[in-house]
Amino acid sequence: MEDIRIGIIGHGFMGHEHEKMLTVMDGYRVVGISDIDLKQLEDVKEGIKRYHSNEELFQDPEVQVVLIAANNNQHHDLALQAARAGKDIICEKPVAMNLEELDDMMRITRECGVRFTVHHQRRMDPDFCTAKAIVDQGSLGDIYTIKSSLYGFNGNMHDWHVYIREGGGMLYDWGVHLLDQILFMMPEAKLTNVYADIRNVINQEVDDYFKILMRFDNHITAEVELGTYYLTDKMHDKWFERHWFIGGNKGSAYLDGFSPEGKIVRTAGLLQNAGDKRTMTAAGPTRSFGPPPDGKILTEPVPEVNTNHKDYFENYRKAYWGETEFLVQIPETRRVLALMDAVRESGRTGQSVIFEA
Ligand X SMILES: NC(=O)c1ccc[n+]([C@@H]2O[C@H](COP(=O)([O-])OP(=O)(O)OC[C@H]3O[C@@H](n4cnc5c(N)ncnc54)[C@H](O)[C@@H]3O)[C@@H](O)[C@H]2O)c1
Nearer to ligand X by Cβ, of 92 and 207: the residue is 92
Which residues touch 71 (CB under 8 Å, ≥6 apart)? Answer: 10, 160, 166, 167
Residues 71, 81, 148, 193: which binds ligand X (CB under 6 A)?
Answer: 71
**Candidate ranges 35-43, 80-88, 146-154, 245-253; the one touching ligand X (CB under 6 A):** 35-43
**Candidate ranges 32-40, 107-115, 124-132, 330-338; the one touching ligand X (CB under 6 A):** 32-40
Q: How far is the CB of 214 from ligand X (least distance, A)?
A: 22
159 contacts ligand X (rule: CB under 6 A)? yes
CA atoms within 13 A on the CB side of 228: 23
60 contacts ligand X (rule: CB under 6 A)? no
**Candidate ranges 28-36, 109-117, 211-219, 246-254; the one touching ligand X (CB under 6 A):** 28-36
Residue 38 identity: L
CA atoms within 13 A on the CB side of 216: 19
C-alpha span between 74 and 94 (Å, rounded): 11
What is the per-residue binding string for ligand X in 188-227, x denoting contact by CB under 6 A? ----------------------------------------
Helix, strand, coil share (%) of the chain residues, nearest 5? 35, 25, 40
* DSSP H or E stretch at residue 4: strand 4-9
Inter-residue contact 266 to 250 (CB < 8 Å): yes
228 contacts ligand X (rule: CB under 6 A)? no
Nearer to ligand X by Cβ, of 17 and 341: the residue is 17
Q: What are phi and psi of 269, to 5 degrees?
A: -115, 35
Q: 265-294 as b/e, with b when 16 or more CB fall inside 10 Å?
A: ebeeeeeeeeeeeeeebeeeeeeeeeeeee
**Candidate ranges 21-29, 69-77, 127-135, 325-333; the one touching ligand X (CB under 6 A):** 69-77
Nearer to ligand X by Cβ, of 158 and 278: the residue is 158
Q: How far is the CB of 16 from ligand X (least distance, A)?
A: 8
Nearer to ligand X by Cβ, of 163 and 245: the residue is 163
40 contacts ligand X (rule: CB under 6 A)? yes
CA atoms within 13 A on the CB side of 234: 7
Q: How far is the CB of 293 from ligand X (least distance, A)?
A: 45
Nearer to ligand X by Cβ, of 37 and 233: the residue is 37
34 contacts ligand X (rule: CB under 6 A)? yes
Inter-residue contact 90 to 81 (CB < 8 Å): no
Nearer to ligand X by Cβ, of 35 and 248: the residue is 35
298 contacts ligand X (rule: CB under 6 A)? no
Long-range contacts of residues 315-324, Cβ cutoff 8 Å, at least 24 apart: 316/4, 316/90, 316/117, 317/1, 317/4, 317/27, 317/28, 319/117, 320/4, 320/65, 320/88, 320/115, 321/1
Nearer to ligand X by Cβ, of 41 and 186: the residue is 41
93 contacts ligand X (rule: CB under 6 A)? yes
Nearer to ligand X by Cβ, of 159 and 323: the residue is 159
Q: What angle do CA 151, 222, 292 make, to 5 degrees?
A: 80
Q: How far is the CB of 33 from ligand X (least distance, A)?
A: 9
69 contacts ligand X (rule: CB under 6 A)? yes
Distance of CA 206 to the CA centre of its chain: 19
Nearer to ligand X by Cβ, of 122 and 266: the residue is 122
Q: What is the CB neighbour count within 10 angstroms for residue 19?
A: 21
Positions that interact with ligand X (CB under 6 A) = 9-15, 34-37, 40, 54, 69-72, 74, 92-93, 119, 121, 159-160
